A = this chain, B = another copy of it.
Amino acid sequence: MDEVRIIEVKQSVFASNELRANKLRNDLKKKGTFLLNVMSSPGSGKTTTLTRIVNELKKDYKIAVMEADIDSDVDAKTIAKNTNVEAIQLHTGGMCHLDADMTRQGIESLTDDDYDLVILENVGNLVCPAEFDTGSSKNMCILSVPEGDDKPLKYPLMFEVSNFVLINKIDVLAYFDFDIDKCKENIKYRNGMADIFEVCGKDGRGIDEVCDYLRNEIEKWKEN
């Protein structure tokens, strides 16, 4: 699959993103679609890590992936090629984030209507995506070792709104001044409820634990 569909999403004209996010969340709940919103800086390894997660979870769930980007379709192509699940590219037209209405446009552009799990890879940005509720069931944030253990102190909202955080690229811990305990402490300082995982998207370390956790979250969500 070398061609991916590109959806040009338009910013909502509606003032209340919060209301529309809740509406989308309710609509998805009725359909049984769990929406995972994945946020991080550019280059933290979102696409590589998601490829591994999708390849594991697709054994249990029908999955689609929406890749948001300002321009380019490299991520959707990569995901489609390496996982064989439906992957579409959302172009934000320069916007630095997705809101609930843009997310809905993406979901309504998917070929099928019966996905168990839709994964939204948000625009690479530690600031703006955190400000807009997409209507997701859960928010996941990836922070990679080369970015530094102080990022939760500098980008508070991202860590406050994330239900769980993946500390990625632990294979290069030896080459960076990164204190993993300090990083966890900084995440917990922003959000004491956040679950934290140490992973390496490149070699797969820790991915099984994340997948078990996600399966558990999806099953709990179904029961509520």
- A85 interfacial contact with B, CB 8 Å: no
Partner of A128, one of B127, B151, B172: B127
Measured between beta carbons, the chain B residues less than 8 angstroms from A71 are 153-156
Near B by CB (< 8 A), chain A positions 160-174 give 169, 171-172
A43 touching B146, Cβ below 8 Å: yes
A139 to B194, CA, bound (A): 37
A139–chain B nearest beta-carbon distance, Å: 17
**Could you say how many copies of this chain the assembly holds?**
2
Find out whether the CB atom of B41 lies under 8 angstroms from the CB atom of A128.
Answer: no
Cα A162 to Cα B133 with chains together (Å) = 31
Residues on B with C-beta less than 8 A from A42 are 41, 126, 147-148, 151, 154-155
A110 CB-CB contact with B under 8 Å? no
Q: Report if A4 contacts B (CB, 8 A).
A: no
Residues of B within 8 A of A127 (CB): 70, 96, 123-125, 128
Which of under 10, 10 to 19, 20 to 34, or 35 or more describes the interface residues of A?
35 or more
- Beta-carbon contacts under 8 Å, A117-156 to B: 123-128, 131, 144-148, 150-151, 153-156
- State in angstroms the CA–CA spacing of A41 and B69 once bound together: 15
Quick one: given A127-B128, A128-B128, A157-B94, are A74 and B43 in contact (CB under 8 Å)?
Answer: no
Q: Which residues of the other chain, B, contact A157 by a CB distance below 8 angstroms? A: 70, 94
Q: Is A175 in contact with chain B by the CB < 8 A criterion?
A: yes
Contacts A42-B41, A96-B96, A175-B175 given; does A74 touch B154 at CB 8 Å:
yes
Q: What is the bound-complex CA distance between A128 and B96, given in angstroms?
A: 7
Given contacts A74-B150, A146-B172, A147-B42, contact A126 B124 (CB under 8 A): yes
B154-A169 in contact (CB<8A): no
Asked if residues A146 and B126 are in contact (CB atoms below 8 Å), the reply is no
Interface residues in chain A, defined as those with a beta carbon under 8 Å from any beta carbon in chain B: 41-43, 69-72, 74-75, 94, 96, 123-128, 131, 144-148, 150-151, 153-157, 169, 171-172, 175-176
New A-B pairs, 8, CB < 8 Å, besides A43-B148, A72-B153, A124-B127: A42-B126, A43-B147, A70-B154, A70-B157, A124-B126, A125-B125, A125-B126, A144-B146
